[in-house]
Amino acid sequence: MTRRERQELIDKGLLLPLMEEFYTIQGEGYHKGTAAYFVRIGGCDVGCHWCDVKESWLAELHPPTETVKIVANAIKYSKTIVVTGGEPLTWDMGPLTEQLKAKGVQTHIETSGAYKLTGVWDWICLSPKKVKLPTEEIYLKAHELKCIIYNKDDFRFAEEQASKVNKDCILYLQPEWSKREKMMPQIVDYVMANPKWKVSLQTHKYLNIP
DSSP H helical ranges for 1-65: 3-11
- Does the annotation place 185 within a ligand binding site? no
- Does the annotation place 129 within a ligand binding site? yes
- Does the annotation place 34 within a ligand binding site? no
Q: From the CA atom positions of the chain, what is the Rg in Å?
A: 17
- Does the annotation place 127 within a ligand binding site? yes
- Does the annotation place 26 within a ligand binding site? yes
DSSP H helical ranges for 119-179: 136-141, 153-162
Q: What DSSP line would sit under 94-125, residue for residue?
A: HHHHHHHHHTT-EEEEEE---S---S--SEEE
- CA dist 84 and 88 (Å) reads 6
- CA dist 18 and 71 (Å) reads 12
- Does the annotation place 134 within a ligand binding site? no
Contact assessment for residue 37 and residue 103, using Cβ atoms and an 8 Å cutoff: no
Classify residue 13 as left (phi > 0), alpha (psi -120 to 50) or beta: left
- Does the annotation place 65 within a ligand binding site? no
- Does the annotation place 118 within a ligand binding site? no
C-alpha distances (whole Å) from 121 to each of 49, 76, 100, 110, 155 are 28, 20, 10, 11, 28
- Does the annotation place 51 within a ligand binding site? yes
- Does the annotation place 63 within a ligand binding site? no
Binding residues: 25-27, 40, 44, 48, 50-52, 84, 86, 127-129, 210
Q: Known binding site for S-adenosyl-L-methionine: residues?
A: 50-52, 86, 127-129
Q: Please enumerate, by residue number, every residue annotated as part of a binding site for substrate.
A: 25-27, 40, 84, 210
Q: Which residues are annotated as a binding site for [4Fe-4S] cluster?
A: 44, 48, 51
